[in-house]
Chain A
Amino acid sequence: MSPEEQARLTEAATEVVLQASREGRLTSRKDVLEALVADGYFHQAAGHVDTDNARQTPTEEEAAIALAGILAGHPGLASFEGLSGETVYHAPDLLSRTFARILDRKGSPLLLMAEEIRANSRDYPRPVPVELFEAPPFALAPEEIGHVLHAMAADPGYQDISFTTAPTGAVYLFSTLHLERGYAAFLALRAESLSENP
Chain B
Amino acid sequence: MAATTGGFAGKVLRVDLSTGKISTQDTREKYGDVLGGTGLGYQVLWEEVPPGTGPFDSANKLVFATGVLAGTGVPCNGRTAVTTIFPTCWPKPLVGSGHMGGNFAAKLKYAGYDALIVEGRADRPVWLFIRDARVELRDASHLWGSGIRRTNLEISQEMGADCSVAAIGQAGERLAPMAIVANSLSHSAGGVGGVMGSKNLKAVGVQGSGAVRIAGDKGEWEKLIKFHLSILGGNNQHVVPSFPTPQSEYYNPASRWVGEPGRRWGAAEPPVEITGNIFDLNRIAYRTNSAAFFLGEGAWKHTVRGNGCTACPIRCHTVIKVPSVAAKYGIHETAQNTCSGLNFGRAFFKALPGGFKGPTALEACMVGMHLADDLGLWCNYGQLQRDFLKLQREGLLKAKLGATEYASIAWDKFESGDPTFLFDILPRIGERRGELGQVLSQGTAGLFRHWSMQEDDWGRDHAARYWKMGHPKHHSSEDDGQCGVIINTQYNRDAQCHSHTNFVRNGLPLSVQKRLAAEIWGSPDAVDGAGDYTPMNLHKARRARWSLVRKELHDSLGLCNWMGPWVASPLKERGYRGDDSLESRFYSLATGRKLDREGLDRMGERIFTLHRALTMRDMGQLDMRAHHDLAPAWVFKDQNGAAPFTKGTIRMDRDDISRAMDLFYEVMGWDKATGAPTAEAYARLGLKEVGKAMHAQKLMPGDAA
Stretch at the interface among A48-56, A92-100, A145-153: A92-100
Q: A93-B573, A191-B254 are in contact. Are A125 and B245 (CB under 8 A)?
A: no
- CA A123 – CA B347 in complex, angstroms? 34
- CA A94 – CA B251 in complex, angstroms? 16
Name B296's closest neighbour in chain A (CB-CB): A195
A102 touches B253 (CB 8 A): no
Q: Is the C-beta of A67 less than 8 angstroms from some C-beta in chain B?
A: no
A124 touches B510 (CB 8 A): yes
- CA A98 – CA B648 in complex, angstroms? 27
A185 touches B648 (CB 8 A): yes
A182 touches B647 (CB 8 A): yes
B339 touches A198 (CB 8 A): yes
A183 touches B531 (CB 8 A): yes
B478 touches A96 (CB 8 A): no
Name A135's closest neighbour in chain B (CB-CB): B243
A183 touches B509 (CB 8 A): no
B511 touches A187 (CB 8 A): no
Q: Is the C-beta of A142 less than 8 angstroms from some C-beta in chain B?
A: no
B647 touches A132 (CB 8 A): no
Q: Is the C-beta of A197 less than 8 angstroms from some C-beta in chain B?
A: yes
Q: Which residues of chain A have C-beta atoms less than 8 A from B505's C-beta?
A: 194
Q: Is the C-beta of A196 less than 8 angstroms from some C-beta in chain B?
A: yes
Most buried by A among B250, B343, B505, B530: B530
Q: Mark A8-22, 1 if CB is under 8 A from B, else 0.
A: 000000000000010
Most buried by B among A124, A183, A198: A198
Most buried by B among A124, A132, A187: A124
B246 touches A124 (CB 8 A): no
Q: Which residues of chain A have C-beta atoms less than 8 A from B253's C-beta?
A: 128-129, 132, 191
Q: Is the C-beta of A107 less than 8 angstroms from some C-beta in chain B?
A: no
Nearest chain A CB to B547 CB, angstrom units: 17
- CA A185 – CA B295 in complex, angstroms? 23
Q: Is the C-beta of A137 less than 8 angstroms from some C-beta in chain B?
A: yes
Q: Is the C-beta of A24 less than 8 angstroms from some C-beta in chain B?
A: yes
Q: Mark B243-284, 1 if CB is under 8 A from A, else 0.
A: 111111111111000001010000000000000000000000
- CA A99 – CA B343 in complex, angstroms? 34
Q: Is the C-beta of B532 less than 8 angstroms from some C-beta in chain A?
A: yes
A136 touches B262 (CB 8 A): yes
Q: Mark B118-140, 1 if CB is under 8 A from A, else 0.
A: 00000000000000000000000
Q: Which residues of chain A have C-beta atoms less than 8 A from B522's C-beta?
A: none
Most buried by B among A96, A180, A195: A195
Q: Is the C-beta of A186 less than 8 angstroms from some C-beta in chain B?
A: yes
B244 touches A99 (CB 8 A): yes
- CA A194 – CA B296 in complex, angstroms? 12
Q: Is the C-beta of A30 less than 8 angstroms from some C-beta in chain B?
A: no
A96 CB contact (under 8 Å) in B243, B245, B260, B382: B245
Q: Is the C-beta of A190 less than 8 angstroms from some C-beta in chain B?
A: yes
Q: A21-B246, A96-B246 are in contact. Are A123 and B509 (CB under 8 A)?
A: yes
A186 CB contact (under 8 Å) in B245, B340, B357, B648: B648
- CA A94 – CA B249 in complex, angstroms? 10
B343 CB contact (under 8 Å) in A126, A129, A187, A198: A198
Q: Which residues of chain A have C-beta atoms less than 8 A from B248's C-beta?
A: 96, 98-99
Q: A123-B511, A128-B253, A190-B478 are in contact. Are A196 and B246 (CB under 8 A)?
A: no
Q: Which residues of chain A have C-beta atoms less than 8 A from B355's C-beta?
A: 168
Interface residues of B in 570-584 (CB under 8 A from A): 572-573
A137 CB contact (under 8 Å) in B244, B340, B510, B649: B244
Name A180's closest neighbour in chain B (CB-CB): B647
Q: Which residues of chain A have C-beta atoms less than 8 A from B388's C-beta?
A: none
B510 touches A125 (CB 8 A): yes
Interface residues of B in 43-95 (CB under 8 A from A): none
Q: Is the C-beta of B293 less than 8 angstroms from some C-beta in chain A?
A: yes
Nearest chain B CB to A174 CB, angstrom units: 12
Name A23's closest neighbour in chain B (CB-CB): B246
- CA A183 – CA B650 in complex, angstroms? 11
B529 touches A125 (CB 8 A): yes
Q: Which residues of chain B have C-beta atoms less than 8 A from A196's C-beta?
A: 343, 347, 356, 382
Name A179's closest neighbour in chain B (CB-CB): B647
- CA A135 – CA B356 in complex, angstroms? 21
- CA A135 – CA B292 in complex, angstroms? 15
Interface residues of A in 147-184 (CB under 8 A from B): 168, 180, 182-183
Q: Which residues of chain A have C-beta atoms less than 8 A from B636's C-beta?
A: none
Q: Is the C-beta of B294 less than 8 angstroms from some C-beta in chain A?
A: yes
- CA A109 – CA B281 in complex, angstroms? 34
Q: Which residues of chain A have C-beta atoms less than 8 A from B262's C-beta?
A: 136
Q: A187-B531, A195-B293 are in contact. Are A99 and B647 (CB under 8 A)?
A: no
Name B338's closest neighbour in chain A (CB-CB): A198
Q: Which residues of chain B have C-beta atoms less than 8 A from A168's C-beta?
A: 355
Nearest chain A CB to B264 CB, angstrom units: 14
A187 touches B340 (CB 8 A): no
A183 CB contact (under 8 Å) in B250, B294, B343, B647: B647
B531 touches A190 (CB 8 A): yes
B246 touches A94 (CB 8 A): yes
Nearest chain B CB to A98 CB, angstrom units: 5
Q: A93-B572, A136-B262 are in contact. Are A98 and B343 (CB under 8 A)?
A: no
Q: Which residues of chain A have C-beta atoms less than 8 A from B343's C-beta?
A: 195-196, 198
- CA A12 – CA B475 in complex, angstroms? 53
- CA A124 – CA B530 in complex, angstroms? 10
Q: Which residues of chain B have C-beta atoms less than 8 A from A185's C-beta?
A: 648
A99 touches B245 (CB 8 A): yes
- CA A196 – CA B355 in complex, angstroms? 13
A194 CB contact (under 8 Å) in B246, B254, B531: B254
Name B250's closest neighbour in chain A (CB-CB): A98
Q: Which residues of chain A have C-beta atoms less than 8 A from B509's C-beta?
A: 123-124
- CA A5 – CA B412 in complex, angstroms? 83
Nearest chain A CB to B129 CB, angstrom units: 35
Nearest chain A CB to B471 CB, angstrom units: 15
Q: A98-B250, A191-B254 are in contact. Are A198 and B294 (CB under 8 A)?
A: yes
- CA A118 – CA B282 in complex, angstroms? 34
Name A22's closest neighbour in chain B (CB-CB): B246
- CA A194 – CA B258 in complex, angstroms? 14
B252 CB contact (under 8 Å) in A21, A124, A137, A195: A124
Name B255's closest neighbour in chain A (CB-CB): A194
Q: Mark A102-117, 1 if CB is under 8 A from B, else 0.
A: 1000000000000000
Q: A195-B294, A197-B478 are in contact. Are A187 and B244 (CB under 8 A)?
A: no
Nearest chain B CB to A127 CB, angstrom units: 10
Q: Which residues of chain B have C-beta atoms less than 8 A from A187's C-beta?
A: 530-531, 648
- CA A168 – CA B295 in complex, angstroms? 14
B246 touches A95 (CB 8 A): yes
Nearest chain A CB to B268 CB, angstrom units: 22
- CA A113 – CA B382 in complex, angstroms? 37
B532 touches A198 (CB 8 A): no
Interface residues of B in 217-253 (CB under 8 A from A): 243-253
- CA A10 – CA B244 in complex, angstroms? 30
24 pairs of residues in contact across A and B, judged by CB atoms under 8 Å: A21-B246, A24-B246, A92-B572, A93-B572, A95-B246, A96-B246, A96-B248, A98-B250, A98-B251, A102-B244, A125-B510, A126-B254, A136-B260, A137-B244, A183-B532, A183-B647, A190-B530, A194-B505, A195-B293, A195-B295, A195-B357, A196-B347, A197-B479, A198-B339
Interface on A for B, CB 8 Å cutoff? 21, 24, 92-99, 102, 123-126, 128-129, 132, 135-137, 168, 180, 182-183, 185-187, 190-191, 194-198
**5 tightest A-B contacts by CB?**
A198-B339, A186-B648, A183-B647, A123-B509, A183-B648
Assuming A21-B246, A98-B248, A128-B253, what are 4 further A-B pairs, CB within 8 angstroms? Answer: A92-B572, A129-B253, A195-B343, A195-B357
Interface on B for A, CB 8 Å cutoff? 243-254, 260, 262, 293-295, 338-340, 343, 347, 355-357, 382, 475, 478-479, 505, 509-511, 529-532, 572-573, 647-649
